[in-house]
Amino acid sequence: MKALDQIVVEGGTPLRGAVRVHGAKNAALPILAASLLVDGVCVVDDVPDLQDIRVMVDILRALGASVEYSPPVVRVDARRISQTEVPEELMRRMRSSIFLMGPLLARYGHARVSRPGGCTIGSRPIDLHLKGLAALGSSIDERHGYIDCRARRLRGAAIYLDTPSVGATENLMMASVLAEGTTVIGNAAREPEIADLADFLNRLGARIEGAGEDTVVISGVQSLAGGRHTIIPDRIVAGTLAIAAAMAGGEVTLEHVRPRHLGAVLTKLREAGVEIEVGRDIMRVRSDGELSAVEQVRTAPYPGFPTDLQAPFMALLSVARGMSIVSETVFEERFKHVGELCRMGANIRVDLRTAFVQGVPRLTGAVVQASDLRAGAALVLAGLAAKGTTVVEQAHHIDRGYERLDEMLRGLGARVRRLSQS
C-alpha cells in the first residue's frame, strides 16, 4: 500500500473461478462514524480492510473511543469521548471524515473539523451538509479553514436537499437520530449504503423510516444502545469484477453480492453482450470477450448507473465494437482515465461531460497512472484486455477501495502482480 506501488498486468488471459466480494467501504465508513452516537459497544462485521477504514479507526481513537480492529471485525466503545475536534492531519487523509460532524454534534453538542479540500474528481462541496445541520439548530462558524458547529440539542426539522447527496443524507440522518422531534429529509439519496446505515441505527434503537427512498423520516430518540451489525457487500467491487470478467472473457462466479443493487450495471453489461445469471446473493458472469457498444451510459444517483463504475465501464466500452456515449452527470472532473486509456490505444473523445468512445479491436499495454481510486481500477481492467504488459502506477489509489484487487484477480487466473517499492 505504498505510494510507489505498481500493479503489473499481462493481458490476454480469460478469468475463471469464484471470488467472494468484501463488505462495502461506503457503508462501513458512515456506520463507524455513527458508532459515536451509541451509548454502548458496537460490533461491526465484514468491514473491508482498506486504508480509508484505518483512517476512520484512527479518528475514532483520536477522539477518545476505544476501538479494536481485527479485519473484518471492528468493535467500538465510544462511551467516553475526550474531544470533539477531528485532528486536521487525519481529516486531510480522508474526505469522508465530514461524516463525523453529524454524530459528534448530536451526541456532544459540538464538532470541529477542517474543511475538506477539493479532490481529483471535482470540487465536492459540503454546503448541503452545513445547511441541513443549520436547519437542525446548529450554529456554524467557518473561519481559517475550520468549521465549528455547536448546538445544545438539535431539533427535528424539514430539510430538502437540492441534490440527492449521499454524504449529506447520511450526515443528516446521523445528526437527527438523537434530535428532539421529527426530521424529514426530502430529495434524499437512495443508495443502498444509506439503507444499511439506517438498518444499523434502527437495530440500536433509532427510529428511521424510508431510508433507501427519497423521503427519510427520523423520529428522535433519547439514546442508542450497543449492538452488532454486518455490512452489506460492496456493489462497486462486485461491478468492477463483473466488468473484468466481461473484458477478459471467461466465466466468473461472484459470491456474497446483492445483484439487486446492480440493476443499471447489469442492464448495460447485458446490452454489451455479456451473459449474467443472478441468484439471491450470487452472480455468474460469462463472456467470450466479444463486446458490443452501448448507445448511452449516463451516470446518475442510485438507482441510476453509478458514477463509481463509469471509469471501469468506459474501459470495457473502449474495446466494444461500435460507438458508445458516456455522460458523467454526478462529478464534473471524472474523466481523468480517458487520457490514460488513450495511451493504451483507446479511441475516446471528450466534450465537457460527455465521452464518445469508439471501440478498438485491441488495447496495447503501456505505463499508465492511476489518478484516483476508480480510474485506477479501470486501468487494471484495461490491462486485462490489452496485448502485452500494462504497468499501473500510483496503485495506492486503488487500495483505497478494493481489498487487494490484484490478489482477487490473480485468484481468477489473471496474470497480475504488485511491485512494491520503498
Residue 391 φ then ψ, to 5°: -115, 115
97 versus 253: smaller Cβ distance to ligand UD1:
97
Of 11-19, 166-174, 289-297, 345-353, the window that binds ligand UD1 (rule: CB under 6 A) is: 166-174
Is 193:220 a contact under the CB 8 Å cutoff?
no
- Is residue 113 a contact point for ligand UD1 (CB under 6 A)? no
The x, y and z cell numbers of residue 326, run together, are: 458516456
Q: Does 28 engage in binding with ligand UD1 (CB under 6 A)?
A: no
∠ at Cα 173 (172, 176), nearest 5°?
A: 80
Indicate the residue among 168 and 269 with the shorter CB distance to ligand UD1.
168
- Quick check: is 149 catalytic? no
Q: E-strand spans in 256-322? A: 275-278, 282-287, 296-298
Written as one letter, the residue type at 100 is: L
**Residues 168, 189: Cα–Cα separation, whole Å:** 8
189 binds ligand UD1 (CB under 6 A): yes
Stretch that binds ligand UD1, among 117-125, 199-207, 213-221, 389-397 (CB under 6 A): 117-125
Among 56, 231, 264, 330, binds ligand UD1 (CB under 6 A): 330
Three-class SS state of 250:
strand
Question: By C-beta, is 114 or 165 nearer to ligand UD1?
Answer: 165
Of 91, 166, 243, 276, the one binding ligand UD1 (CB under 6 A) is 166
Q: How many residues does the chain have?
A: 422
Interaction of residue 414 with ligand UD1, rule CB under 6 A: no
Q: Which amino acid is at 354?
A: T
C-beta of 124 vs 343, nearer to ligand UD1: 124
List all residues 6 or more positions away from 54 whose beta carbon is below 8 Å from its beta carbon: 69
Interatomic CA distance for residues 316 and 417, integer angstroms: 21
Stretch of residues binding ligand UD1 (CB under 6 A), selected from 125-133, 145-153, 207-215, 390-398: 125-133
- Does residue 163 belong to the site contacting ligand UD1 (CB under 6 A)? yes
Cβ-based nearer residue to ligand UD1, 117 or 181:
117
Bond before 303 cis per omega within 30 degrees: yes
Q: Does 17 bind ligand UD1 (CB under 6 A)?
A: no
Among the listed residues 30, 373, 79, the one whose alpha carbon sits nearest the alpha carbon of residue 231: 30
29 part of the interface to ligand UD1, by CB under 6 A: yes
Q: Which residue minimizes CB distance to ligand UD1? A: 167
Should residue 167 be labelled a site residue for ligand UD1 when binding is judged by CB under 6 A? Answer: yes
Give the strand pairing for 323-327 and 347-351: unpaired
Q: For residue 292, what is the DSSP state?
A: B
Q: How far apart are CA 63 and CA 61, in angstroms?
A: 5
Residue pair 329/121 in contact (Cβ under 8 Å)? The answer is no
One of 33, 105, 147, 168 touching ligand UD1 (CB under 6 A): 168
**Does residue 318 interact with ligand UD1 by CB under 6 A?**
no
Q: Tell me the catalytic residues.
A: 119
Binding site for ligand UD1 (CB under 6 A): 26, 29, 96, 122, 124-129, 163, 165-168, 189, 193, 307-308, 330-331
